[in-house]
Structure 1
Amino acid sequence: MKFICIGYLDALRMDALPNEEVDALMRECQSHLKTFHGTGRVVIDAGLDRGPKRLRRSGGKVEAANVPANDSHGTPGSVFLVEAQSMEEAIRIASLHPTVQVGAGERLGWEIDIYPVHTFKSNEGFNDVI
């Protein structure tokens, strides 16, 4: 099975940090990422930039709007896809990600949501219904 994982952060708290502290946090993430990727179960791992757009249909038209910082759940900072036999295994793999391994993440609102994927289509064109 595949599981899509979304890592969140509190953008307001992160933005309040001095650049030196952010750089130190990112360096601390590297060893955790090595372990995380070393599982061989990470299909895709993407760090997200700020400035997302939200699309919705309104009045028969598709509209694009800015997503506010810390919108409801927080700001997505990473998205990754893992291959696992069960939700329990997906949790074990995702728990290796820096989002929940770096101690400072607790005060910065770092957390991960894990979603089971029921349909997956790759660029190779296959459609995998799980």
Structure 2
Amino acid sequence: MKYLGLAYFTPEKFAALAPDAVKAIVSQCPAMDEKMRATGKVRVSASLGDLENWRTLRARGGKTQITDGPYIESKEVVGGLFIIEADDADEALRIASMHPAAQIGEEGEWAVELIPMDFYLEP
């Protein structure tokens, strides 16, 4: 079974941290990401680009409308994603708990949401 992990953060909280605190948090992430990938169960892992470069596409009046920025108005923003292929939900939770957002992100109000996926590939 495949699971989508979405790593959320609160930009205002993260931006309010002192530069040394941000550096200390961010410096821990590569080792945690590597530990998670070392399970051999992570199929995709990515950080997402800066919010000012996001675009939203939606159908309006029979045409595709493109707007700047995230569409969803929320205090939390998706900052990264990963896909785990696990034998069961417990294994997926164990692996997802290794992600930095689940380990060290309290100051930036980081969180991980784990979602089971129906996954289809074209032949």
TM-score tier, shorter chain, comes to 0.7 to 0.9
Separation in structure 1 between the aligned mates of residue 15 and residue 120 of structure 2, nearest angstrom: 35
The residue that corresponds to 2:16 in the other structure is 16
Instruction: Say whether the 8 Å CA contact 1:11–1:69 is kept in structure 2.
Output: no
Residues 70, 54 of structure 1: alpha-carbon distance in 2 compared, 3 angstrom cutoff: closer
The residue that corresponds to 1:54 in the other structure is 56
TM-score normalised according to structure 2 size:
0.85
Residue pairs, 1:98-117, within 5 angstroms = 98-102=100-104, 105-117=105-117
Residue pairs, 1:17-36, within 5 angstroms = 17-36=17-36
Q: 5+ unaligned residues in a row in structure 2: which ranges?
A: none
The C-alpha deviation readout for 1:6-29, integer Å capped at 9, x for no partner, is 100001111223333322211112
Separation in structure 2 between the aligned mates of residue 70 and residue 14 of structure 1, nearest angstrom: 19
Separation in structure 2 between the aligned mates of residue 86 and residue 64 of structure 1, nearest angstrom: 38
Aligned equivalent of 1:64, options 52, 63, 66: 66
Q: 5+ unaligned residues in a row in structure 1: which ranges?
A: none
Separation in structure 1 between the aligned mates of residue 71 and residue 15 of structure 2, nearest angstrom: 11
Separation in structure 1 between the aligned mates of residue 71 and residue 61 of structure 2, nearest angstrom: 26
TM-score normalised according to structure 1 size:
0.81
* Superposition deviation, residue 65 in structure 1: 1.5
Separation in structure 1 between the aligned mates of residue 41 and residue 23 of structure 2, nearest angstrom: 27
Paired residues in the alignment total 121
The C-alpha deviation readout for 1:41-64, integer Å capped at 9, x for no partner, is 111100111232121111111112
